[in-house]
Structure 1
Amino acid sequence: MLQDVFDGLSVRSRYLRYHTAMTSLTPANRAALSAVDGRRRITLVAERIGPAGWVAEGLGHLVATGPDRAGVAVEVVDAAQGRGVGRTLLRHLVTVAEALDYRVVEADVLTANTPMLRLLGRLFPDARTTPATPAATTVAVEVRLG
């Protein structure tokens, strides 16, 4: 599924998600993205049924960054962007984070990734945003949970 979703991302989508021009998933990338334990590292899969069976359309990742904090990230294949897949993944990631007693979820988003920044703003209007780098190429988005 990791490879299928990665392959469904355009060069621009890969850059916006990974903050670098990735042409392939290295074995180290694949190992890091698939290393889940149900508490500190979680991956959710968004799928749809297609003519040949289930097709992965997106992935949502939650990674503990502290005792009560977790980073979140999503990636949605280009063909499914704009259809609510990312929104659904983010909502479920927050639900999982709350169930695991995380108090804060955070995301580092490229300033060029306006669709993700708009989505986070709509889903979490009280989120705090701050430039994450001196050159302000990324924005840190912090959402306090219940």
Structure 2
Amino acid sequence: MVQAGNYLASEILRDGRTVKIRAIRTADRAGLLAAIGRTSDQSLYRRFFTFKHGFTDQEVDFYVNVDFVSHVALVAVLEEDGQPVIVGGARYIVGPPGQAEVAFAVDDGHQGKGIGAVLLRHLVSLARNAGLSALTADVLPNNTAMLKVFGTSGLGITTRREPDATHIVLQLS
């Protein structure tokens, strides 16, 4: 079993850059807030289903303090001007038996490079190792990029379209 803070992998993105995928850490608070600051209102709306003009200390604590059992969170880190920069993140939160809900965010300047798909692959691997059988997500109907990430994941997928969201179930086994 992977322990919190120990998960680390590297992947090559479509543009040839290497991205590190690792467990989020409490020390990532400033980096996470910086990534949010580089994310447009529209992208934040697609992630949170509401306009977010800031985050409370309690919300940020929730995002960076995970137990890596019932709440697993990864960040995508790229080198920018010689410094590591958090450019995206993904998480799952265990819910009904055998299932977890997933959520993703990638800052606007790094969207379209395959980071969401890479994060999904790593979450799937962790979820399978944890014995989960399905990942679920609610996606806004106009969030075609995220729908494509799920649709091209190679996993069994069930979708249920509702007026305000598309409910996705990814089968892990």
In the alignment, what sits opposite 2:22?
A: none
Distance 2:165 2:62 in 1: 22
Q: 1:90 to 1:127 in 2, by over 3 A?
A: same
Q: Secondary structure at the match of 2:86?
A: strand
Pairwise CA distance, 1:126: 2.8
Q: Deviations over 1:74-104 (max 9, x none)?
A: 1001000000111100111111100100001
Pairwise CA distance, 1:35: 2.8
Aligned residues with identical type, % of pairs: 29
Provide the TM-score with structure 1 as the length reference. Answer: 0.92
Matched, 1:144 2:171: yes
Distance 1:118 1:12 in 2: 18
Distance 1:28 1:2 in 2: 14
In the alignment, what sits opposite 1:100?
A: 130
Pairwise CA distance, 1:29: 1.8
Q: Secondary structure at the match of 2:90?
A: strand
Pairwise CA distance, 1:114: 1.2
Pairwise CA distance, 1:26: 1.7
Matched, 1:39 2:69: yes
In the alignment, what sits opposite 1:61?
A: 91
Q: Deviations over 1:33-64 (max 9, x none)?
A: 12300110011010011224100110111110
In the alignment, what sits opposite 2:159?
A: 129
Q: Secondary structure at the match of 1:98?
A: helix
Q: Secondary structure at the match of 1:28?
A: helix
AA aligned to 2:168 is V
Matched, 1:85 2:115: yes
Provide the TM-score with structure 2 as the length reference. Answer: 0.78
Consecutive unaligned residues of structure 2, counting only runs of 5 or more, are 1-30
Pairwise CA distance, 1:124: 4.0
CA contact (8 A) 1:17 1:74 kept: yes
Root-mean-square deviation (CA, aligned residues, Å) is 1.3
Q: Secondary structure at the match of 1:123?
A: coil
Q: Secondary structure at the match of 1:120?
A: helix
Consecutive unaligned residues of structure 1, counting only runs of 5 or more, are none
